[in-house]
């Protein structure tokens, strides 16, 4: 099923690699902690380089300035056996010093991750992850119309060919729009959507914290004050959702 999703990207065949990336190569080339090594060994089943987009394979210009170096984009498929280790596995794979689009597979579900990177000021040969973005897990055996529209939106013809930075940022924009669609019901986003999603996430964390405190609180007056605070954050959460 993942092969069908990759085909829908419409990436030219000349970009196709379909080559295994061996875990020992990651262990040998990057300084991983003992816990990362354990996760790589026990929670990652396979890693494959599916596509490489560069000046030799597609008509997109490299982008280089003092902060960013986008010479090519690699599309990598990772099959994992432990869904709880997703973020740690992403951090490990994102050590590869190139802009990456990661397709995580767990059983019959897929999650896409991208992590914009900047040049390490102390070592220009290395890139540093600025931020990281994940889609929710999508059940490939039960794809909704909105999820299918998202997959259609990330097909290669729907991204700018100006340069690789613009191309990569377009992926970011479409993932942000998809994440917002959980609340908005559409794939429309604007320049404020990412900040709003960040606020929603913070709000959800705060709501959970307050609810847990209310359960443990025994003093009635303190419980009342906490419920007032909870209502304030619930109202803020609803307003943020409605603004998307």
Contact 181, 150 (CB under 8 A): yes
Per-residue pLDDT of the chain (244 residues; tens, 9 = 90+): 788 889 999 999 999 999 999 999 999 989 899 999 999 999 999 999 999 999 999 999 999 999 999 999 999 999 999 999 999 999 999 999 999 999 999 999 999 999 999 988 888 777 889 899 999 999 999 999 999 999 999 999 999 999 999 999 999 999 999 999 988 899 988 889 989 999 999 999 999 999 999 999 999 999 999 999 999 999 999 999 999 8
What φ, ψ does residue 113 adopt, rounded to 5°?
-130, 135
Q: Helices 145-153 and 164-184, interaxial angle, to 10°?
A: 170
What six digits make up the tokens of 218? 């025994």
Measure the CA–CA gap between 87 and 107, rounded to whole angstroms. 17
Boundaries of every domain in the chain:
2-184, 193-243
Nearest residue to 198 via CA among 178, 182, 176: 176
Contact 5, 144 (CB under 8 A): no
pTM score, whole prediction: 0.88
Q: Kindly give, in sequence order, each residue whose CB lies less than 8 Å from that of residue 209, ignoring residues fewer than 6 positions away.
A: none
Neighbours of 132 (CB within 10 A): 15
pLDDT in tens, 5-16: 899 999 999 999
What six digits make up the tokens of 29? 């080339």
What six digits make up the tokens of 165? 């930075």
Contact 199, 225 (CB under 8 A): no
């Amino acid at each position: 099923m993942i092969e069908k999703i990759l085909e829908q990207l419409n990436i030219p065949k000349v970009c196709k690699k379909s080559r295994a990336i061996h875990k020992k190569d990651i262990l040998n080339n990057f300084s991983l902690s003992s816990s990362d090594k354990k996760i790589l060994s026990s929670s990652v089943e396979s890693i494959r380089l599916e596509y490489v987009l560069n000046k030799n394979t597609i008509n997109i210009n490299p982008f280089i300035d003092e902060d960013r170096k986008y010479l090519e984009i690699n599309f990598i498929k990772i099959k994992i056996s432990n869904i709880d280790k997703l973020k740690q596995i992403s951090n490990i794979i994102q050590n590869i010093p190139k802009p990456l689009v990661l397709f995580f597979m767990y059983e019959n579900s897929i999650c896409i991750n991208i992590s914009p990177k900047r040049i390490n000021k102390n070592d220009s040969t290395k890139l540093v992850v600025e931020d990281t973005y994940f889609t929710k897990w999508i059940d490939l055996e039960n794809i909704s119309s909105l999820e299918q529209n998202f997959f259609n939106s990330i097909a290669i013809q729907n991204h700018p060919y100006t340069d690789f930075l613009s191309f990569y940022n377009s992926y970011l924009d479409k993932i942000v729009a998809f994440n917002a669609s959980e609340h908005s019901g559409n794939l429309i986003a604007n320049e404020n959507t990412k900040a709003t999603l960040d606020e929603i996430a913070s709000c959800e964390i705060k709501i959970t914290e307050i609810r847990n405190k209310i359960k443990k609180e025994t003093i009635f007056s303190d419980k009342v004050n906490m419920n007032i605070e909870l209502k304030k954050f619930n109202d803020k959460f609803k307003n943020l959702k409605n603004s998307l």
